[in-house]
């Protein structure tokens, strides 16, 4: 199950991904205050989620320093829209540039 499913699921059987906390963790990861391993453990990410997290990080690293803060905010916004049902998985992948 991927990050989109974790963020947008309404099922009690799916461990909910807190979009706000995940976004803060990503910001702290980019600042060097949280490691990738800490984020994986804290959110109990499965293999698919880890692959998507790595794709987000890889895309982030291709951006110029000036564009990186905006991308982190875009991640937050896109996952909030996915959580609310405005974005399906394909739209989330398109907006965030991973997948």
Residue 99: predicted pLDDT:
61
Task: Evaluate if residue 93 carries a pLDDT over 90.
Answer: no
φ, ψ of residue 27 to 5 degrees: the values are -60, -45
Whether this prediction's pTM lies above 0.95 is answered by no
pLDDT in tens, 20-72: 999 999 999 999 999 999 999 999 999 999 999 999 999 999 999 999 999 99
Residue the block writes with tokens 């987000």: 56
Residue 68: predicted pLDDT:
93
Query: How far is Cα 63 from Cα 12, in angstroms, rounded to an integer?
Result: 36
Q: What is the DSSP letter of 4?
A: H
Q: Rounded to whole angstroms, what are the CA distances from 86 to 2, 34, 77, 79, 92?
A: 17, 30, 11, 10, 10
């Amino acid at each position: 199950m991927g990050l989109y499913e974790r963020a947008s699921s309404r099922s009690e059987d799916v461990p909910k991904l807190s979009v706000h906390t995940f976004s803060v963790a990503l910001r702290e990861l980019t600042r060097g205050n949280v490691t990738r391993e800490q984020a994986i453990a804290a959110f109990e990410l499965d293999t698919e989620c880890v692959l998507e997290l790595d794709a987000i990080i890889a895309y982030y690293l291709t951006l110029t320093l000036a564009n990186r803060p905006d991308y982190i905010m875009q991640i937050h916004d896109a996952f909030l829209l996915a959580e609310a049902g405005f974005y399906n998985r394909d739209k989330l992948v398109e907006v965030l540039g991973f997948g």
